[in-house]
Amino acid sequence: MDQTAVVVLFGGRSSEHSISSVTAGGVLRAIDRDRYRVIPVGITRDGVFVLEDDDPDKFALDTESLPEVTDNGTRIVWPYSGDRTLVVRDADGTERDLGTIDVVLPILHGTHGEDGTVQGFLDTLDLPYAGGSVLDSALCMDKHFMKVVLQAAGIAVAPWVTVRSSEWTGDAAAIAERASGLTLPWFVKPARAGSSVGVSKVHGVDELAAALDLAFAEDDKVLVEQAVVGREIEVGVLGARKDGATRVSLPGEIVLTTREFYDFEGKYLGGDGVDVICPADMDPAQITAVQDAAVRAFEAVDGRGLARVDFFLGAEGPVVNELNTMPGFTPISMFPKCWIASGMSYEDLITDLIEQVRERAA
C-alpha cells in the first residue's frame, strides 16, 4: 500500500507553543508508520517554519522543562497553489525535495494556528488539512463570538460581558458595574487564548483589577463570565465519515478536589487537586443530554474534523463553556481519553482525522 505523506505541523507563536509540541510528541509516537510517511514541521516562537526531528522523545511531556521548537537553520519552502511538493532549504543553502504532501495535520493550539490563520494559509496553498476550517476555527477561538453563535442556535451558555482594552482604564468599579447582573464568583478570561492561560476566578470586586490585567496581557478582548454551578463535563466530537453522521464520545469529567479551577498546571503539569475521569459517572439521560448538546454546538459553528465540547452540567441541564477545535493530545488530555474509553485507540484517532481529509478530497 502506498504511504500517504502527512506533514505534522506544530509549535507556533502562541503562549501554547509548548503544549502543541507535547501534542506533537504524542502524535509522532502513535501515528501508523506503515500507512503514513511523516514529515515533522515545527514553527518556532518567532514564526519560522523548520524541518524538525522525527523523534517523539524530543517532544515528550516533561513538567520540569516543556519542549519547544528551536531554529535549527532549516527553512521549509511551501509549494505554490496547484503543486504539493514540499522543499526544505538546509542551513548551507542546499535544497532537498521532501516529496508530495497529501495531508497537513496542524496540531497547533492558540493564536496563529487554531484561530483560522493557518487554516487560511493552507487553503491558499490548496493543501488538504485535518481539523477545523477557517470559519469554525476562528469562531471557537473567540469566546465572545462563539457564545453569540451558540445563543442564536438556542444553546445554553454562561452569562457574560465583554470588555475591550480600550475600555480598561484601571477602574475596576466601572467594569464591576457593567457586570453587576452577573452573580459572583466570576471567571475573567482572554477571549482568544486557551489552556486556561490568563484565566482567573474572581470572588469579589477587589480581585477584579488584577484579573483583568492578567487577561489583557494575553488579549485585547476579555470576558467577565458568571461561574456556573455544576459538574465539569467534556465530550469529544469527530466529524462524519463518508455518508455517516457526526460522532460523539462518552463524556469525561474534571473533578476538582483542592484546586480552585482547571488551570494550566492542572491540565498539563500534573498538578495536584484535580482528577480527570473518563467515562464520567452519569446516568443515561445525562449522557444523552450532553452528547446531543455537543453535536448541536459542533454543527452550530459549522464544525469540521474534531472538537472537544466543554460543559457545566447542573440541575437545568448542560451549559456550554467552550468548544476547542484542536484539543490537546498530551498523555493526560481529556480528548483522547474520552475516545479511548469509547473504544477507539489513540492510533486509530489520528488515523480517523487524516482519513476524514482523504475522503473529503476524494
Rounded CA gap, 225 and 184, in Å? 9
Q: Is residue 208 part of a domain?
A: yes
Rounded CA gap, 148 and 299, in Å? 14
Whether the Cβ atoms of residue 188 and residue 162 lie closer than 8 Å to each other: no
Q: Is the per-residue pLDDT at 160 higher than 90?
A: yes
Q: How many CB atoms lie within 10 A of CB 79?
A: 15
- Label residue 29 by pLDDT band (50, 70, 90): very high
Rounded CA gap, 108 and 47, in Å? 12
Residue 262: phi and psi, rounded to 5, are -80, 85
Q: Is residue 171 part of a domain?
A: yes
Looking at 226, 243, 270, which one is the last position of a domain? 226
Residues 35 and 99 in one domain: yes
Query: Looking at residue 272, what is its pLDDT?
Result: 57
Query: Looking at residue 273, what is its pLDDT?
Result: 66
Question: What digits encode the pLDDT tens for the residues 270-290?
Answer: 555 678 899 999 999 999 999
Q: Is residue 355 part of a domain?
A: no
Residues 168 and 108 in one domain: no
Question: What digits encode the pLDDT tens for the residues 63-118?
Answer: 778 899 999 999 999 998 778 999 999 999 999 999 999 999 999 998 899 999 99
Q: Which three cell numbers stand for residue 88?
A: 526544505
Computed over every residue of the chain, the mean pLDDT equals 92
Residues 147 and 257 in one domain: yes
Q: Looking at residue 236, which CATH number applies to its domain?
A: 3.30.470.20
Query: Looking at residue 362, what is its pLDDT?
Result: 81
Question: What digits encode the pLDDT tens for the residues 32-70?
Answer: 999 999 999 999 999 999 999 999 999 987 777 889 999
Q: Is residue 222 part of a domain?
A: yes
Residues 12 and 99 in one domain: yes
Query: Looking at residue 260, what is its pLDDT?
Result: 60
Residues 281 and 152 in one domain: yes
Q: Return the sign of the alpha-carbon dihedral for residues 59, 309, 326, 279.
A: positive
Question: What digits encode the pLDDT tens for the residues 231-264?
Answer: 999 999 999 998 789 999 999 999 977 556 555 5
Q: Is residue 63 part of a domain?
A: yes
Whether the Cβ atoms of residue 224 and residue 188 lie closer than 8 Å to each other: yes
Task: Give the pTM.
Answer: 0.90
Place of cell 480527570: 276
Q: Is 280 exposed, middle or buried (0-12, 13-18, 19+ CB in 10 A)?
A: buried
Question: What digits encode the pLDDT tens for the residues 300-354?
Answer: 999 999 999 999 999 899 999 999 999 987 767 899 999 999 999 999 999 999 9
- Label residue 131 by pLDDT band (50, 70, 90): very high
Residues 166 and 150 in one domain: no
Residue 149: phi and psi, rounded to 5, are -65, -45
Q: Is 93 exposed, middle or buried (0-12, 13-18, 19+ CB in 10 A)?
A: exposed
Residues 29 and 99 in one domain: yes
Q: How many CB atoms lie within 10 A of CB 12?
A: 28
Residues 25 and 105 in one domain: yes
Above pLDDT 70, what percent of the chain? 94
- Name the domain count of the chain: 3
Residues 171 and 315 in one domain: no
Whats the size of the chain, residue-wise? Answer: 362
Query: Looking at residue 263, what is its pLDDT?
Result: 53
Q: Looking at residue 33, which CATH number applies to its domain?
A: 3.40.50.20
Q: Is residue 18 part of a domain?
A: yes
> What is the extent of the structural domain holding 33?
4-129
Query: Looking at residue 96, what is its pLDDT?
Result: 97
Radius of gyration (Cα) for the chain, nearest Å?
Answer: 20
Residues 205 and 311 in one domain: no
Place of cell 484565566: 199
Whether the Cβ atoms of residue 79 and residue 102 lie closer than 8 Å to each other: no
Residues 57 and 166 in one domain: no
Q: Is residue 351 part of a domain?
A: no
Q: Looking at residue 166, which CATH number applies to its domain?
A: 3.30.1490.20
Q: Is residue 96 part of a domain?
A: yes
Residues 73 and 173 in one domain: no
